Amino acid sequence: MQSKKTHNKNSKKQVKPPKERKVHDAEEEDLEEEDLELLKPPIDEDELEERLTEEMHGERDVEDDENFIQEVEKFKKEHCKSKVVTIFNKIGKPKVVDCSVLSPDKTKEELRKVIVLLDEHNIIVHFHNDYTDKEKYRFITGEIFNEAVETNSKNHISFIYEDFHPEMDEEDDVEDF
């Protein structure tokens, strides 16, 4: 009986480690050394992170990076001390009449006042299509007045109605059907 036990212990299968994937020789000729390195599994998390970063960014030009960093730093310096306020606060918190209570004549008059006030602060609102004065007034007082801008900005600030309310072209409507 002892001989059977001894025989059973020796007859156990040994587990072989998994084989590493080997690139076919023909493929190896086409691949560069760097590419072959990428086929090998990463050694640790740092190497994996480095590989992913390289893959995401692609080949980078050091000169481009330096120019980009300089531009970012310049932008930071220009805007780091800027305070952000709403358009309404920037133009001095004007008294605004609710558009629902305005008559058509009054709406036109109030719209003109608001546009002149915005213009004095280099703020322009564009309308590519024709809209009623009531809709223009509502848009400016209800939406544009809530937009945030820098207090010390001396540049023109432009808003386009259609950026806030895009309309589909007739051609786009036809293509959907």
C-alpha 92/C-alpha 4 separation (Å) is: 100
Q: How many CA atoms lie within 13 A of 50 on its CB side?
A: 9
**pLDDT, tens digit (0-9, with 9 covering 90-100), for 100-115:** 888 988 999 999 999 9
Binned at pLDDT 50, 70 and 90, residue 150 comes out as confident
Could you tell me the residue ranges of all domains in the chain?
23-59, 84-170
Q: How far apart are CA 16 and CA 4, in angstroms?
A: 25
Pair of tokens at residue 86: 């709403």
Task: Compute and round to an integer the Cα radius of gyration of the chain.
Answer: 34
Q: Tens of pLDDT along 17-74?
A: 555 555 444 454 555 665 666 566 767 777 777 777 776 666 555 556 788 888 888 8
* CB neighbour list of residue 39: distance below 8 Å, 6 or more residues apart: 21, 23, 31
